[in-house]
Amino acid sequence: MTLEDMVKKESKKERIMSAKRGIDDLETLEQFNAYRETLIQGFGGEAKMSFIDTTPVKSDTDILGRKVPKEVKKHFYYRLAQSASMHAANNVLSGEEHIPANPNLFIIAARAYKLSGNKEKAKDAWRSYFNSVGEKISRAISPSQRVDLPDLSLLEESKLSRKEKQNYARAMMEHVIYHPGEKPEPWTDARYAARLTKFVPKAYATTMSSQIAQLFEQAGDRDSYQRAKQFYKKAHNTGLLSKAKK
C-alpha cells in the first residue's frame, strides 16, 4: 500500500467516524431528514426517497443511497429508530395516557430497526404501534366513535407471530363492524372486515361473516352479500377475500 493509499484510507475512516458523531447529535425526525441529505452529499450517490416518512422501505439504499458506508447506514438507522420510538412513547395525547400523539413514529422506528439489523426490536416497535391502535379501540365506547384503523399491509409487514396478528385483527374487525362512526361507509367497512378474515381463526371468521354480509347488504352490494352468506354457511372465505381485494 502506497503512502497515498494510506492517507485515503485514513481519510475515509475519519469521515466515517465524523459522520457517526454527527448522527449521535440528532434528536428529531426533522434533524435526521436534514442530516440524511448531508450524508448523501458527503459520500455521493442518490436515494429513491426524498425524505423519511411512513412510505414503505424496501432496502437501506432507498433512504441513504448506495455510496454511504454500511456502518454509517446501520448507525443512522439504529439512532433513527431509537429517536422515533422515544418521541412516540413520550409524547401522548393531552389527557390520554398511553395513546401516542403520533403513533406513526413507531412505524418509522420499526422499519429503521429492521434496516439496522435489529429484527426483534423492529417487532417491539410494531407491537407498540398496534397496541396504540388497540388502546384507542378500547376507549371507543359509543358506536359513533370510530378509530382510524391501519392499512392491513402493515400487519403483514410486521412479521409478528400468528397469535399476535390474530388478536390485533379481531379487535379491529369488531371495531369496524360495531362502530360505524358518525358517517357510516358500509362498503368500505365490509371490505376491510372481509380482508381481516385472512388473519383471524376460521371459526371466528365464520361467526363474524354474518355481520360482514349485513354491511355488504347495507352498501347495496347484493353479490357480495350472497357471497358472505355462503361463507357463513360453508366456513370458507374465498368469496369474501376475492371481493375484498377489488
Question: Would you list the domain boundaries of the chain?
Answer: 1-139, 142-246
Name the band, by pLDDT with cuts 50, 70 and 90, for residue 225.
low
Q: Nearest-CA neighbor of 187 among 146, 220, 227?
A: 220
Q: What is the pTM of this model?
A: 0.84
pLDDT in tens, 119-140: 999 999 999 999 999 999 999 9
Q: Is the distance from CB of 98 to CB of 135 less than 8 angstroms?
A: yes
Average pLDDT rounded to a whole number, residues 7-22: 80
What are all long-range contacts of 41-47, with beta carbons under 8 Å and residues at least 24 apart? 42/15, 43/15, 43/19, 43/67, 43/68, 43/69, 43/72
pLDDT for the residue numbered 44: 87
CA distance 60 to 82: 17
Beta bridge partners of 100: 92
> Taking 90 as the threshold, does the pLDDT of residue 112 lie above it?
yes
Q: Tell me the mean pLDDT in the region 45-72.
A: 90
Cα gap 144→146, rounded to integer Å: 6
* % pLDDT > 70, the chain: 83
